[in-house]
Amino acid sequence: MRTALLASLFVASLASTALADSSGKKIALSNNYAGNSWRQAMLGSWKKVGQQAVADKIVAAADAFTTADKDAPSQAAQVQNLILQGYDAIVIDAASPDALNGSIKQACDAGIVVVAFDGLVTEPCAYKVTIDLANVYGAEEIRQIAKRLPNGGNLLYVRGLAGTSIDADITKGVEAEIAKHPNLKIVASVNGDWDETTAQKAVATVLPSLPTIAGVVDQGGDGYGTAQAFKAAGKPMPLIMLGNRQDELAWWKSMIPSGYNTWSGSEAPGMSTFAFWVAQQILDGKKVPKEVPMNILTIEQPDLDKYLASTPVGGVANAEYTQDEVVKAIAAASK
C-alpha cells in the first residue's frame, strides 16, 4: 500500500515538473512605434487577448510598452527596464534586426524568454514568429502586378520604415521577383513609413520628375495616401497594391465601377497575439522550436465586402489567434 502511494506521488511529481504553470508569470510587449493603424490594431489585439488571459489566470500580467521614439536605442533602454521590472517574458516588435541584440542577450541571460515578431532580431537566444515576407509579400506583390499588367510598365516602390527587418525582407522579395519580369521596372522608391500621410507627402515630392507610372509596390499602410498623391497631381491612377487598411479597402470598392481590380495583403495586426501564446507556451514548459511560422492575411476582390464590413473606420483588416491555434502551429513547426 505504502509502495503504491509513493509511486503515485512520484508520478504526480514528474507530471508537475514536466508541465510548468504560467499563471504566475508576467509577459511584456516591447513596441517601438505606434504611428499607424496597423500598430494601433496590433496593440488593441494584444490588450484584448492579454487581458482575457489574465482574467482566466493563464498569466499574471500582459502589459504593453511603446517607446516615444522610433529609434533602436530607445527600445534597447525599454528592454533593459523590463528586465529590471521582473518580467518573465518579453514579446518584441523590434526597431532593428541587430541593434537590440545586446539588450535581448541581457534578457536571455537573466532567464527571460524573448519572442520577436513582425520586426525580427538576429540574436540567437530569441524565439521568432516568422513570416516569409520576401516570398509571400514582396515577391507576391510583383506576381500580382505582373498578372494585372501583362504589358509591363514603370513602377514606383513605396518602402516602409528604414532599417527594419520588415523593410529589408519585403525588398529582398521585390528585387528577386522583378528580375524575372523584364517588362516591369522600378523607376523610383520613397519611404512611406507604413503611414498614409508620410507616404502621400513622399510620393507627391517625386511624382513631378517621374515618367508615367503603371503600378505601385508598397509595404502596407500607404496605399490610400499614395492614391491621393496621384489624384492631387492630376496623374493617371496606377495599379496600387494595398495593405488591408480600411481606407484603402473603401477606396478600392469605390474604384471597382471603373474596372479597377487590385490585391491587398498584410501581416494581421493580431500576430502580436500569436507571439503572446508562443511566449505563454514556453513559460508553461512546452518544447517550442526557435522559429514558429505563420502566414499573412490577403484579400482578393471577391472577399472585399466581407473584410470591409468587419474592419472599423481608421482600422485594418485583422485576425486574432487562440491558444489552441498556436499550439497546433508549434506542433507543425516541430515536425
Beta-strand pair 264-266/297-299: antiparallel
d(CA 250, CA 276): 31
Facing residues of 266 across strands? Answer: 297
Q: Is 274 helix (H, G, I), strand (E, B) or coil?
A: helix
Q: Indicate if 146 and 85 belong to the same structural domain.
A: no
Please tell me the total count of domains within the chain.
Answer: 2
Q: Indicate if 29 and 71 belong to the same structural domain.
A: yes
In a domain, 219, yes or no: yes
Q: Indicate if 105 and 160 belong to the same structural domain.
A: no
In a domain, 96, yes or no: yes
Q: Indicate if 139 and 260 belong to the same structural domain.
A: yes
Q: Indicate if 255 and 208 belong to the same structural domain.
A: yes
How many residues belong to the chain?
335
Q: Indicate if 68 and 160 belong to the same structural domain.
A: no
Q: Indicate if 230 and 286 belong to the same structural domain.
A: no
* pLDDT score for 4: 40
Mean pLDDT by 10 residues, the chain (335 residues): 38 40 97 90 97 98 94 96 98 95 98 96 97 96 98 98 92 98 98 95 98 96 96 98 96 97 95 98 97 95 96 93 97 95
CATH number at residue 191: 3.40.50.2300
Q: Indicate if 28 and 126 belong to the same structural domain.
A: yes
d(CA 304, CA 21): 42
Q: Is 46 helix (H, G, I), strand (E, B) or coil?
A: helix
* pLDDT score for 36: 85
Q: Indicate if 126 and 33 belong to the same structural domain.
A: yes
- Termini Cα distance of the chain: 42
Q: Indicate if 148 and 253 belong to the same structural domain.
A: yes
Range of the domain at 221: 133-266
Q: Indicate if 66 and 139 belong to the same structural domain.
A: no
